[in-house]
A and B are shown apart, each in its own frame.
Chain A
Amino acid sequence: MILTVLALLGMQQGIADRLSGRVPADVGAVVESLGTSAAARGLPIDPLIQKAIEGSAKGVPSARVIAAVRLVAMQLDTAAAALRAGGMISDTLAIAAGAFAINAGMDAGDITNLLMRRGGQTTVNVRLELNVAGTLVAIGVPSAEAADLVSASLQTGRPATDLLSLPSLVQGEVARGATPAQAAAGLARAAAAQARHGPPPGRPQPPPHPPSSPHP
Chain B
Amino acid sequence: MSEYDFHPLVKQLLDGDITIADLPAELRAEGEEALRLLAAVDRSPVALPAIPQRVMRALTRPPQRFPRWLLAPALALAAALVLWLGRSHGPMATPGSEAAITVHFVLSAPGARAVSVAGTFNQWDPRASPLVRAGANGMWTATLKLPAGQHQYAFVVDGVRWVPDPAAPAVDDGYGRRNSVLTL
Contact among A6, A10, A50, A135 with B87 in the assembled complex (CB-CB below 8 Å): A10
Would you call B79 and A3 a contact (CB within 8 A)? yes
Contacts of A139 in B (CB 8 A): 169
- With contacts A2-B73, A10-B83, A60-B175 known, is A215 near B183, CB below 8 A? no
- With contacts A6-B76, A214-B103 known, is A138 near B95, CB below 8 A? no
Interface residues of B in 62-93 (CB under 8 A from A): 72-73, 75-77, 79-80, 83-84, 87
Would you call B120 and A50 a contact (CB within 8 A)? yes
Residue B96 interfacial (CB < 8 Å) = yes
The A/B interface has a contact count, at CB < 8 Å, of 121
Contacts of A214 in B (CB 8 A): 103-105, 165, 167-168, 180, 182
Contact among B95, B101, B105 with A46 in the assembled complex (CB-CB below 8 Å): B95
Contacts of B103 in A (CB 8 A): 212-214
| Closest B residue to A5 using CB positions | B76
Would you call A2 and B181 a contact (CB within 8 A)? no
Would you call A6 and B150 a contact (CB within 8 A)? no
Q: Which of B5-13, B29-37, B44-52, B121-129 forms contacts with chain A? A: B121-129
Contacts of B102 in A (CB 8 A): 212-213
B interface secondary structure, majority: mixed
| Interface-centre pick from B101, B120, B162, B171 (highest chain A CB count, 10 A) | B171
Residue A28 interfacial (CB < 8 Å) = no
A selection of 8 A-B contacts at a CB cut-off of 8 Å is: A14-B87, A57-B118, A57-B124, A96-B95, A104-B181, A134-B183, A210-B183, A214-B182
A57 vs B183: C-alpha distance when bound (angstroms):
22
Contacts of B183 in A (CB 8 A): 131-132, 134-135, 164, 167, 210
Would you call B150 and A100 a contact (CB within 8 A)? yes
Q: Give per-residue flags for A1-23: 1 if the beta carbon is below 8 A from chain B beta carbons, else 0.
A: 01101110111011001000010
Residue B106 interfacial (CB < 8 Å) = yes
A123 vs B182: C-alpha distance when bound (angstroms):
20
Would you call B184 and A2 a contact (CB within 8 A)? no
Chain B interface residue count, Cβ-Cβ cutoff 8 angstroms: 44
Would you call B169 and A138 a contact (CB within 8 A)? yes
Kindly state the interface size class of chain A when it binds its partner. Answer: 35 or more
| Closest A residue to B83 using CB positions | A10
Given contacts A134-B181, A210-B183, 10 further A-B contacts (CB under 8 A): A2-B72, A3-B79, A7-B79, A57-B118, A67-B174, A68-B173, A71-B174, A134-B150, A213-B104, A214-B104
The smallest beta-carbon distance between B5 and chain A, in angstroms, is: 69
Contacts of B170 in A (CB 8 A): 138
Residue B110 interfacial (CB < 8 Å) = no
Interface residues of A in 94-141 (CB under 8 A from B): 96-97, 100, 103-105, 124, 127, 131-132, 134-135, 138-139
Contacts of A142 in B (CB 8 A): none
Interface residues of A in 124-162 (CB under 8 A from B): 124, 127, 131-132, 134-135, 138-139
